[in-house]
Structure 1
């Protein structure tokens, strides 16, 4: 009687395939619940983040406590910064999603900006010294891109409940809440659209460094947090 033998090559490929599937599933679980990787597509957050940087984003930082003024946030811009029905077709959307997932390209609906106004804040640009004021107090902004003015566009807004007023650090190159004052929602981003906080630059390697949370953020959450 002849006996059949399992071919080692087939067993090895099945093991490799199973390991790859498990790795993808575990990575997807981690990225959906705890940490994710995002690509910086523009210079709007210079000098802290440069175009082409890959950043590690914590999805849990704001679950333990509220966001604060000065915090940098990655957020879903659908319905505020991006049209609700944006898209380029199923194939291009899929390829773009894959590139975004592996950190090779930016997401069409994902943005990164700094929180300037919390719910209830009255944000004005600008006072006699050319600075932003929040609730009548001049806002110190050491993170601004060197040589940039606070804002060439004048505005006076009161942030509604559950919303955030967001601006880029490279003001002259940033399309942010200022650009959407006449749009539905007035450039205010819903708090529940915040995905997380960048905690580390992971690429390029010569810029591998932790991203500290601004000290001012911890002092403005208890009173003004959503």
Structure 2
């Protein structure tokens, strides 16, 4: 299970409203608010450059953070909204939601593939593991977030398609997309082999299209 949740540093923002927000932005900060969790909302501000770096890494909205604010206890939060400048597309405000350990949250979990050496198609058959999803959005407990989802390749054969239903999921974790059995990966034939098969099929079609000697003589008659 995940034992290291990334820290998100913030400061308490003096004042609220548009004036205080503009002052924060002039000082290189992004105004925001943290709310929920049975406590009063707190106006915050975050360093613009550090926040922008986090946003550009991706998955910010589905990452659980440990919010650190001087004078306040650390609390787990998830982002529930980022307002952006309509022209520059830069962050202008951020909304954070406090979570209890028993809260459930949607978050992307990385997929890890193991035992490739136990898959003959991959080890000696020249097959290729084609990963369709290297992470899956899961609904999990905030206090029990898995590091990864494990896909065991032992005994897999050429042409196998691995669906989410084929994977043993961590306790308490369920896919957010629950109404269809989506594909995680497949074990595909080598491209050269696949191309040879296509060439053979094309040659067979071409051969069928060429008239035989008997057919040609019959046409002349």
**TM-score w.r.t. structure 2 length?**
0.24
More strand per residue: 1 or 2? 2
Q: Which has the higher contact order (CA 8 A, sep 6+)?
A: 1
